[in-house]
C-alpha cells in the first residue's frame, strides 16, 4: 500500500499532474480542455491547499472522506488544507477526460485579505464528497466567468494589484457557491423533511440511552454520522429548514428535557446535570440560565 503523498505547493500539484511550471507561486487554474494530456497517478494525496473543482466527466474515481464518488455532470467539490483525496483507477496513471476546471491556492494567498477571516464561514469546504454542489448550465457559466477573470490575472497581469483582484474574484466565487448551495437545499426541501424526522428520532433515542450519561451531549459530527452525512452539511441543512444549527437543536432539546426533569422529579440539580453528562453541575446551571433566564432552582420554584 502506497504512503500518502503530501502536496504543499502549487508547483507540486503541477508536477503530480505533469503540467508546465505554474505562472503564479500561490494559485493555479487548469483544465483538461487547456491541457488534454495531463494525468493523475493512482494513490492517496494530502493536499495542504484549498481546492475548488467543477467536474463534468472523468474515467477516474475519487475517494474523499468516507465516500467514493463518480462525479455527476456539473458537480462542484471544495476541499480545505489537510484533507486526503484518493484517486482509484484500473491503470497506474490515468489520463483525465474531465472538461471542467480546477483552482488550487495556497493559504498564504489570502493571508492579508478579508477572505482569510471569512473563509471558515464557507462550511462546504468540510462537506463529504457525496454532498457536492450540482450547478445548472447558467450557474456554470457564471462561475466560469469568474474563473476566467482569475486565470487572466495569473497569466497576463501579475503586478501589485493582481493579488487583491484575484482574492476579490475568489470571494465572489465562494459567495456564488454559497447562493447555489442554498438553492440546492431549498429545491430538496421534501427530502430534507425526511432528514429532520430522522434527526429528531436520533436525538430522542440518544437522550433515552446510556450514551448521554457516559459521553455527554451528542456532538454535531455524531448527529451527521447518524444521518450518513457530514456534521457541517447537516447543520447547514437544519439552518435552512429551521433557522437553527445542529448545536442549537441539541441544546434546546436538552433544555426541554431538563425542564421536564426539574418539574417531574425530585432529583437534585446536580443529579440532573450528571444525567445529561455534565461533569460540573455549574456548567449545566449556567447553560440553563442562558437559555431560559432562570437558574434550574429558580425555574423549579416558578411552577
| pLDDT tens by residue, 77-87 | 899 999 888 76
**Cα–Cα distance, 134 to 254 (Å, whole number):** 36
Tens of pLDDT, residue by residue over 211-228, are 998 888 999 999 999 999
**Cα–Cα distance, 111 to 80 (Å, whole number):** 14
Please, which pLDDT band fits residue 129 given cuts at 50, 70 and 90? Answer: confident
Residue 90 has, within 13 A of its CA and on its CB side, a CA count of: 1
Fold agreement (5-187, 190-302): no
Residue 40, Cβ density class (10 Å: 0-12 exposed, 13-18 middle, ≥19 buried): buried
Instruction: Provide the pLDDT for residue 55.
Output: 79
**Cα–Cα distance, 140 to 119 (Å, whole number):** 21
**Cα–Cα distance, 244 to 286 (Å, whole number):** 21
Nearest to 111 by CA among 164, 178, 47: 164
Q: Is pLDDT at 95 greater than 80 in this prediction?
A: no
CATH number of 5-187: 2.60.120
Tens of pLDDT, residue by residue over 147-161, are 999 999 998 877 888
For the chain, the average pLDDT equals: 86
Q: Which residue ranges make up each domain of the chain?
A: 5-187, 190-302
Instruction: Provide the pLDDT for residue 283.
Output: 94
Percent of the chain with pLDDT over 70: 85
CATH number of 190-302: 1.10.10.60
**Cα–Cα distance, 118 to 168 (Å, whole number):** 12
**E-strand spans in 10-161?**
27-30, 39-41, 43-47, 50-55, 61-64, 67-69, 75-79, 83-88, 93-95, 101-105, 133-134
Q: Is pLDDT at 107 greater than 70 in this prediction?
A: yes
Contact 250, 218 (CB under 8 A): yes
**Cα–Cα distance, 57 to 38 (Å, whole number):** 15
Percent of the chain with pLDDT over 90: 57
Please, which pLDDT band fits residue 121 given cuts at 50, 70 and 90? Answer: very high
Q: Which helix (H) or strand (E) covers residue 7, if one does?
A: strand 5-7
Tens of pLDDT, residue by residue over 164-173, are 999 999 999 9
Q: Is pLDDT at 180 greater than 90 in this prediction?
A: yes
Q: Is pLDDT at 14 greater than 50 in this prediction?
A: yes
Instruction: Provide the pLDDT for residue 44.
Output: 83
**Cα–Cα distance, 132 to 62 (Å, whole number):** 12
User: What is the grid cell recorded at 235?
Assistant: 447543520
Pairing of strands 39-41, 61-64: unpaired
Amino acid at each position: 500500500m502506497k504512503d500518502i503523498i503530501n502536496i504543499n505547493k502549487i508547483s507540486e500539484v503541477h508536477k503530480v499532474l505533469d503540467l508546465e511550471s505554474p505562472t503564479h507561486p500561490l494559485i493555479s487554474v487548469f483544465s483538461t480542455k487547456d491541457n488534454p494530456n495531463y494525468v493523475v497517478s493512482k494513490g492517496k494525496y494530502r493536499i495542504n491547499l484549498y481546492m475548488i473543482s467543477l467536474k463534468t466527466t472523468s474515467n477516474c474515481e475519487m475517494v474523499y472522506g468516507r465516500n467514493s464518488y463518480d462525479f455527476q455532470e456539473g458537480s462542484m467539490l471544495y476541499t480545505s488544507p489537510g484533507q486526503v483525496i484518493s484517486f482509484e483507477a484500473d491503470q497506474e496513471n490515468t489520463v483525465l477526460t474531465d472538461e471542467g476546471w480546477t483552482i488550487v491556492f495556497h493559504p498564504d494567498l489570502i493571508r492579508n485579505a478579508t477572505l482569510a477571516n471569512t473563509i471558515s464561514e464557507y462550511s462546504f469546504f468540510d462537506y463529504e464528497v457525496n454532498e457536492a454542489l450540482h450547478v445548472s448550465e447558467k450557474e456554470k457559466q457564471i462561475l466560469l466567468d469568474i474563473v476566467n477573470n482569475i486565470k487572466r490575472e495569473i497569466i497576463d497581469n501579475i503586478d501589485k494589484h493582481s493579488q487583491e483582484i484575484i482574492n476579490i474574484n475568489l470571494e465572489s466565487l465562494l459567495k456564488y457557491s454559497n447562493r447555489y448551495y442554498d438553492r440546492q437545499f431549498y429545491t430538496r426541501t421534501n427530502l430534507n423533511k425526511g432528514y429532520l424526522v430522522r434527526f429528531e428520532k436520533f436525538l430522542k433515542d440518544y437522550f433515552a440511552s446510556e450514551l448521554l450519561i457516559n459521553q455527554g451531549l451528542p456532538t454535531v459530527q455524531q448527529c451527521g454520522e447518524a444521518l450518513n452525512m457530514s456534521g457541517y452539511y447537516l447543520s447547514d441543512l437544519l439552518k435552512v429548514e429551521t433557522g437553527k444549527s445542529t448545536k442549537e437543536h441539541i441544546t434546546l432539546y436538552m433544555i426541554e428535557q431538563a425542564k421536564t426533569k426539574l418539574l417531574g422529579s425530585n432529583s437534585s440539580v446536580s443529579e440532573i446535570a450528571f444525567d445529561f453528562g455534565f461533569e460540573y453541575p455549574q456548567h449545566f446551571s449556567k447553560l440553563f440560565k442562558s437559555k431560559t433566564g432562570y437558574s434550574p432552582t429558580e425555574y423549579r420554584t416558578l411552577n
